[in-house]
Amino acid sequence: MKRRKRRLLKRSFCAGVVVVVVFLVVSAILFVWPRTDAPRKSDAIVVLGGAGARVAKGLKLAMDGYAPTLLISTPDPSACRYRITGVSIICFAPSPETTQGEARYVSKLAAERHWHQILVVSGTAQTLRARMRFDRCYSGTALFDPAAPGSVISWIHDVAYEWGALAKALTIQRGC
């Protein structure tokens, strides 16, 4: 009887290890090393959840001449005081204040301005879900060049958050 219990315990432990390893590998593929694009000349650069490294990357891409328009998603557009010669900067508060709201706003503006290609700066972990949201809303080409989070704690938080947000995008919020 003891031998059977030990065998069952050992198998359960091994199965648990396999599940954890598979979860970590899938998390890494989806959220740590998502499919990205090299930046190319575009109609606009879009910074999602504009703060910190994302805004810095968006500003650098604009200064490097990748697009004549820079859109920055921020909860307080009035606090947006960036200036780059030759670049139109538009700060906006999406409604709702989510990646879905950002994709809707950008897609509407892109249709009005006849943009065919945009360069999106998201968080690295957010890239897969942001790509899904823009694919659902935007009819042009969306390139993704994410900004990496600053610390291991940020990575862990972002990956945990993205699992829930991705599940929501795949089940509850399936449209644009």
Q: Check whether 43 has a pLDDT greater than 90.
A: yes
Task: Report how far residue 160's alpha carbon sits from residue 158's, in angstroms, rounded to the nearest whole number.
Answer: 6
pTM score of the predicted model: 0.89
Indicate the helix (H) or strand (E) that contains 9.
Answer: helix 2-27
What digits encode the pLDDT tens for the residues 115-160?
A: 999 999 999 999 999 999 999 999 999 999 999 877 778 888 888 9
Alpha helical stretches, state H, 28-66? 52-63
State the pLDDT at residue 122: 95
Task: Report how far residue 133's alpha carbon sits from residue 146's, in angstroms, rounded to the nearest whole number.
Answer: 15
